[in-house]
Amino acid sequence: MDRVTPPAAPPLRAAFLRLFMVQASWNYDRLLGVGMGVAEEPLLRGLRGAGGDGTAYRAAVARGAHFFNAHPYLCGLAVGAAARAEYEGAPPEQVERLRAALCGPLGALGDRLVWAGWLPLLSTAAVAAIALGAGWGAVAGFLLIYNLGHVALRWWALRAGWDAGAGVVGALRNPVLQRTPSLVLPAMALVAGFCLPLATRWLVRPFPLVGALGCAVAAVIGVLLLRWKPGRIKSLWIGLAAVALGLAGGWLWR
């Protein structure tokens, strides 16, 4: 396809709002692909006049809905980059390679930055604050800060992808993206270390001393079992067994 002049004011807001629904059509065949195509479609409307019959627009929309898998907060980078590459006249196979090449980096970076860093950092901080008596204010603070962070990340990704086009790899070298995980991950570990004893004390405080000691013994046994048979004994099994014992003990305590 020949190069087409991109719109002076691309409908980034429409694509951005659609990115929040990118997982609504998740399936085992294309994973996030269909949602990606829906989010990319507003950016491709300028191709309707290319060739006079809309063929370029329909082909680009279809490519946008092909298989894709990455972190949902960063997939806007691929949406913007692929759409801009279509205007730049990139061959269809190059657009496909661009999308495929972004799957791994966006998935790994998003997992480190969000699932292993930002989310556990804020959630453990909220739990620690609740244990210290902050109450519902800690919950409200967690929801506000977490959502501000991930919404800003989504918007940056979409804008960076659209601005970079086929040269989007440079956006992944952004110092903020590269350095933030090295700061967030240690901070998360530090906050989790403070959270654990505070939350434990808060949870066992209503119980008598015998009950608190019983909880401590159960926790120690669980850790020993996990170390004794790693991979064969699941933490979920231990958790369910602890819940069952707690229910039985509560019923007998009556």
Residue 202 lies in a domain: no
Same domain, yes or no, for 230 and 105? no
CA distance readout (Å), 180 to 29, 32, 113, 186: 33, 26, 7, 10
Mean pLDDT confidence for 233-243 = 78
In a domain, 163, yes or no: yes
pLDDT of 78 reads: 96
Asked, for residue 201, whether it belongs to a domain, the answer is no
50 in any annotated domain: yes
pLDDT at position 1? 60
Q: What range does the domain containing 221 cover? A: 207-253
The confidence score (pLDDT) of residue 244 equals 82
**Rounded Cα gap, residues 122 and 10, in angstroms:** 34
* pLDDT higher than threshold 80 for residue 247: no
Q: Are residues 241 and 152 in the same domain?
A: no
Q: Is residue 142, in this structure, part of any structural domain at all? A: yes
Mean pLDDT (the chain, rounded): 89
- Residue 142 vs residues 116, 119, 148, 149, 178: alpha-carbon distances, Å: 16, 9, 10, 11, 24
Beta bridge partners of 68: 31
Q: What's residue 31's pLDDT?
A: 95
- 156-181 pLDDT, tens digit per residue, is 999 999 999 988 888 888 887 888 88
140 and 80 share a domain?
A: yes
Number of domains the chain is built from: 2
| One domain, residues 158 and 90 | yes
Question: Using one digit for the tens of pLDDT, what is the confidence trace for 21-39?
Answer: 999 989 999 999 999 999 9
Q: Which of 137, 161, 188 is the last residue of a domain?
A: 188
Alpha carbon dihedral 64, 69, 74, 75, in 10-degree steps, equals 10
Tokens of 230: 């790693």
Tell me whether residue 196 is in a domain. no
Residue 169 counted as domain residue: yes
Measured CA to CA, the distance from residue 166 to residue 80 in angstroms comes to: 10
d(CA 94, CA 131): 53
pLDDT tens-digit map of 74-92: 999 999 999 999 999 999 9
Shared domain check, 148 and 96: yes
Q: Is the pLDDT of residue 208 over 80?
A: no
23 touches 72 (CB < 8 A) = yes
